[in-house]
Copies of this chain bind each other. A is one copy, B any other.
């Protein structure tokens, strides 16, 4: 990603929306540690999230970037922030048994007198319990609010520029799936196919270079596919087995995840029945997914289609997507499932996952889509049916 993908006006709008949400929650200073949120607010991009870093957003003034000394040049290169707003913690405190980088954050906050009305992302990979303890010890429990998801929610409705990036990610996803269909054949060790598909996603298409997706290819076959998050191995593709690939193109950190199922031989009747339910579920969902409908109403389309086919789908059937960093390409706000009464809005984007996992096999045919007044529109164009090679 590069901050130059977006206008100053778009960044201003993002800051202003975030500040509104902060103010509603009584937060004066937000410590943003989710790399996706950091990037969305400032454009900052780099594989530096394995050490403490944050964007600090006060109720007024420019956001600050705070991170490791070694990463400050990266912040200068990739974010739109003025160099005077980049702050670093001492390089010698990296992964140190005694010093914690958050000690330097405490100093920075004290210098600016930002010591109350603090918001932190309590439930995030990149905000550890140890980091929180440093802030609690310095400022006290009572002045720290849980702001998990605060920025994520602002990201839910995509701008036209963001949608254009997601459609480019979708072109990369389509290119990856085309490569997959071409390379899929009996006896082929799975890892060779994964290598080709991944390379297609990064080498991309003319004018369309791929970035690293936030999740590695999930590509289980046969019994393996009864588990949800198995990556790959070197076992040859085998007749009689369903394989599904859950993969995403990534363009300037934006994603468009799509799963497809492939079969060597003739798919048994139960898999075909499940496929029918999935295809119907997708169509029904797209028809229903209009602004004003709730997440659980959208999800109901999927559960009903499965019920009609005699299957019970228990898990959630979709989540919002967009800009992301490992280990998850979801936005972790809404879920398409019973009980989620969030109302969907125009230009929200979701990964619809009407997958089915049985003890014997797993079937995943999924779509990434955008909400329009006419219903859900897919962000990529890839044949949905199970890809069968029966020779």
Contacts and interface: CB of A to CB of B under 8 A. Distances in A.
Contacts of A218: 47
A129 B129 contact: yes
B133 A122 contact: yes
Interface string A175-202: 0000000000000010110111011111
A14 interface: no
A92 B330 CA distance: 16
A94 interface: yes
Interface string A195-220: 11011111110000111100111100
B123 A125 contact: no
Interface stretch (A269-277, A278-286, A314-322, A380-388): A314-322
B332 A70 contact: no
Given A122-B130, A127-B129, A128-B123, A94 B316 contact: yes
Contacts of A128: 122-125, 127-129
Contact of A227 (B46, B124, B126): B46
A125 B126 contact: yes
A71 B228 contact: yes
Copies of the protein in its oligomer: 2
A327 interface: yes
B130 A123 contact: yes
A53 to B, nearest CB: 10
Given A199-B198, A228-B70, A95 B48 contact: no
Contacts of A230: 45-46, 74, 77-78
A315 B129 contact: no
A233 interface: yes
A319 B227 contact: no
A12 interface: no
A125 B50 contact: yes
B131 A132 contact: no
Contact of A129 (B69, B132, B194, B335): B132
Interface of A: 2, 45-50, 69-71, 73-74, 76-78, 91-92, 94-97, 100, 120, 122-133, 146, 148-149, 189, 191-192, 194-196, 198-204, 209-212, 215-218, 223-224, 226-234, 314-316, 319, 326-328, 330, 332, 335, 337-339, 357, 359
Given A45-B231, A50-B330, A76-B227, 5 more contacts: A48-B229, A127-B128, A130-B148, A195-B210, A212-B216
